[in-house]
Structure 1
Amino acid sequence: MSAWVPMTRTLCVLMLASLLGAAAPARPEKAAEDTFSGVERVVAVGDVHGDVEALKEVLRFAGLLDAKGHWSGGKAHLVQTGDIADRGAGTREAFELLMRLEREALAAGGRVHLLLGNHEVMNMRGDLRYVTPEELASFADQSATPDAPGAPKGLAGHQAAYGLEGRYGRWLRTHPAVVRIDGTLFLHGGLHPEVPAKTLGELNRWTRQELFPGGAPGGGTDPRGPLWFRGYAREDEAVWGPGLEAVLTRFGARRMVMGHTPTQDGRIGVRFGGRAVLIDTGLSTYYGRHLAALEIRGERLTALYPEGRVSLLVPAAKPEVAPPAPGKAAPGR
């Protein structure tokens, strides 16, 4: 009996992971969880843009991927803030890697959170402006119908793969745009103070609604939404500080971690006194292959680079109280 119970729990976890990867989304409301607490270690990685080898290298030096390409992060949570797609030939391989790591991490007690980026939404909506010919061709086997005469190789497969019942479209539509982990909001772009949502559930439904038949325009294309807004990455802190504070308060967070806008120096950026952290360092070869990840342990934020670790935010030390002098009573409380 003692051996049966752990085995039953393990099988349940594996079955749940399998269902998460295979279930077809029915409605925008059926997104994955968006709020987590009590997570000891979080690692966040920004835009990948088809460079799966760069992604693997970052996950390895962050301690989340072993030499054989399997999850080694234990109970850690990995957050990838979107834009796996476009500008590189390895989009499909990156999707497949993250799909597998979702299952492996869950079985180990950890999690992988792939968030929607504007490029995933563009592909699901048929906007192929940034899809390279090599990337498009890699989807050719995803459709039983051949490409139309004169059409680029892989076009039919790409449309099928990102469709409602396609391998990647079905999977992507189950993911949120924003998650909160222990007081930190993670998302692709940013949140304008005027976003029409009061809770994370409302925000994620608004962002995903136009990915389903009959869905009204929403945050997937709205410039104020979590996939597009760049104000906290580019604009004057004095101008946008109050708006950022209001958004963080509304969604119960202390800081916001964003991709979408590449940092100018290829390093993780900190703005607004640590309330905004920019993690799109230009990881892909297209942007210069500046490899980096953000690690969060409680209130300690650390940038991880191939050459080592750099502290970004360290919790303030509690002031030391000097012991009372000999012969004197300690001050009253």
Structure 2
Amino acid sequence: MDKLRGQAQAEGSTVLSHLGNHEWMNMIGDWRYVYPSELKTFGTVAHRQRMLSTGRIGRSWAANYTTTSRLPLHPSLGPPNTPYPPPASPHRLHWEKEKDGFEIDFDLWMFHNHRHPESKNPLSHAAISFVHGGLSPTYQDLTPFPTKINELSTSLLRKLQHREQPPPHPPNPYPGLPASVTEHERQVYGSDGPLWYRGWALQDEETVCKQVDDVLAKTGTRRMVMGHTPDFTNIVSRCNGKIIIIDTGISHAYGGVLSALSIHYTVHPIGDDADQRWVERELISALYPDKRTLIVDEEREIVGDFQVADGSH
């Protein structure tokens, strides 16, 4: 992965890498899924522990991996992992009372209105989130996204890597998290946290489609992509492509179908230059060895000046 990262940078591209629940299990000392043959490649338990904590693998995890990512589709929104809302944003994150007595969730209002052609910021949510497990609607540290989750993850990883490494489980008792972790750090690894949450995959369609807009609104995204809950035959799309679950068990240990997700985003000008009218299109497909399946094909007209510093749009 580090080699691929260097190759991408040489071409002006970026590799975004995430730690999933199994990486965290290994760092905690929960080695239930570690085969004896893998242990042999490291020589000893202590050598493997050093490699994952202060060794080459551990240093790469700390320097190059996050728990979640926000991928802006348009360069005017900034580079990958630009937080939403921005630090200087006046956006209100929770319920606030208007002068006329009605209560609104400002981010939810922005999410539902940014698609209107005359919206002041029609690209505010033109981004996609990526995470291993899922962004639960009840998880309290969603925002600013993805900064808050990744800061907590970085802090938790540091505590795990720099503690005295416990004897792994099994055959020893489950070591758990260090005593020094905060409650917010603990929740990162909790069942409702981004590493383990399965609700978007397992709950019924009506339930998840009622919940998803609120999470997308808070995270400044239009869609969420996740793994963790495999379907061994195909990538799963729910709620008209707002939820995309890409785990198809491609490891030989599971024997699922090989797959990848293709995201193609374009913005084309229409009409006179003075009109500042554009057609925005999102095309998302599931790729398999023998076919391509269309998941999303959405087109909308937007109005605004979306030029960025290098002249692109």
Query: Normalising by structure 2, what TM-score?
Result: 0.62
Which amino acid letter does the alignment assign opposite residue 137 of structure 1?
K
Q: Is the 8 A contact 1:260 1:280 kept in 2?
A: yes
Q: Is the 8 A contact 1:105 1:111 kept in 2?
A: yes
Match of 2:5 in 1: 102
SS at match of 1:273: coil
Which amino acid letter does the alignment assign opposite residue 300 of structure 1?
L
Q: Is the 8 A contact 2:149 2:188 kept in 1?
A: no
Match of 1:273 in 2: 240
Q: Distance in 2 between matches of 1:157 and 1:312?
A: 45
Which amino acid letter does the alignment assign opposite residue 121 of structure 1?
W
Match of 1:157 in 2: 47
**Pick aligned residue for 1:189 from 113, 120, 133:** 133
Give the C-alpha shift of residue 310 in structure 1. Answer: 2.0
**Pick aligned residue for 1:232 from 178, 182, 200:** 200
Change in Cα spacing, 1:257 to 1:121, as seen in structure 2 (3 Å) is: same
Match of 2:18 in 1: 115
Give the C-alpha shift of residue 227 in structure 1. Answer: 0.8
In the TM superposition, what whole-angstrom CA distance separates every residue of 1:169-223 from its partner, at most 9, and x where no partner exists? Answer: 1211232111111211011010111222211111212233322224424344111
Match of 1:88 in 2: none
Change in Cα spacing, 1:137 to 1:131, as seen in structure 2 (3 Å) is: same
Q: Is the 8 A contact 1:206 1:218 kept in 2?
A: no
Which amino acid letter does the alignment assign opposite residue 191 of structure 1?
L
Q: How does 1:162-241 map to 2 (within 5 A)?
A: 162-163=52-53, 165-174=54-63, 175-181=65-71, 182=73, 183-197=127-141, 198-199=143-144, 200-213=146-159, 214-216=180-182, 217-241=185-209
Give the C-alpha shift of residue 126 in structure 1. Answer: 1.1
Give the C-alpha shift of residue 237 in structure 1. Answer: 2.1
In the TM superposition, what whole-angstrom CA distance separates every residue of 1:141-162 from its partner, at most 9, and x where no partner exists? Answer: xxxxxxxxxxxxx312211111
In the TM superposition, what whole-angstrom CA distance separates every residue of 1:59-100 from its partner, at most 9, and x where no partner exists? Answer: xxxxxxxxxxxxxxxxxxxxxxxxxxxxxxxxxxxxxxx111
Aligned length: 206
Which amino acid letter does the alignment assign opposite residue 31 of structure 2?
L
SS at match of 2:250: coil
Q: Distance in 2 between matches of 1:207 and 1:104?
A: 26
Q: Distance in 2 between matches of 1:159 and 1:254?
A: 39
Q: Distance in 2 between matches of 1:211 and 1:317?
A: 42
In the TM superposition, what whole-angstrom CA distance separates every residue of 1:33-67 from its partner, at most 9, and x where no partner exists? Answer: xxxxxxxxxxxxxxxxxxxxxxxxxxxxxxxxxxx
SS at match of 1:137: helix
The answer as to 2:228 corresponding to 1:260 is yes
Which amino acid letter does the alignment assign opposite residue 256 of structure 1?
M
Match of 2:308 in 1: none
The answer as to 2:21 corresponding to 1:126 is no
Q: Distance in 1 between matches of 2:255 and 2:205?
A: 27
Match of 2:259 in 1: 292
**Pick aligned residue for 1:305 from 284, 288, 293:** 288
Q: Distance in 2 between matches of 1:212 and 1:317?
A: 44
Which amino acid letter does the alignment assign opposite residue 209 of structure 2?
G
Which amino acid letter does the alignment assign opposite residue 297 of structure 1?
H
Q: Is the 8 A contact 1:208 1:219 kept in 2?
A: no
Which amino acid letter does the alignment assign opposite residue 294 of structure 2?
S
Q: Distance in 2 between matches of 1:99 and 1:139?
A: 19
Identity score, percent: 38
Give the C-alpha shift of residue 278 in structure 1. Answer: 0.8
SS at match of 2:24: helix
Give the C-alpha shift of residue 308 in structure 1. Answer: 3.0
Q: Which runs of 5+ in 1 are unaligned?
A: 1-97, 141-153, 319-333
Q: Which runs of 5+ in 2 are unaligned?
A: 74-126, 160-179, 266-281, 302-313
Match of 1:139 in 2: 42
Give the C-alpha shift of residue 316 in structure 1. Answer: 4.3
SS at match of 1:256: strand
Give the C-alpha shift of residue 262 in structure 1. Answer: 0.3
SS at match of 1:124: helix
Q: Distance in 2 between matches of 1:294 and 1:308?
A: 12
Q: Distance in 2 between matches of 1:244 and 1:271?
A: 10
SS at match of 1:232: helix
- How big is the alpha-carbon RMSD for the aligned residues of Structure 1 and Structure 2? 1.7
Which amino acid letter does the alignment assign opposite residue 168 of structure 1?
I
Flag the structure with higher strand content: 2
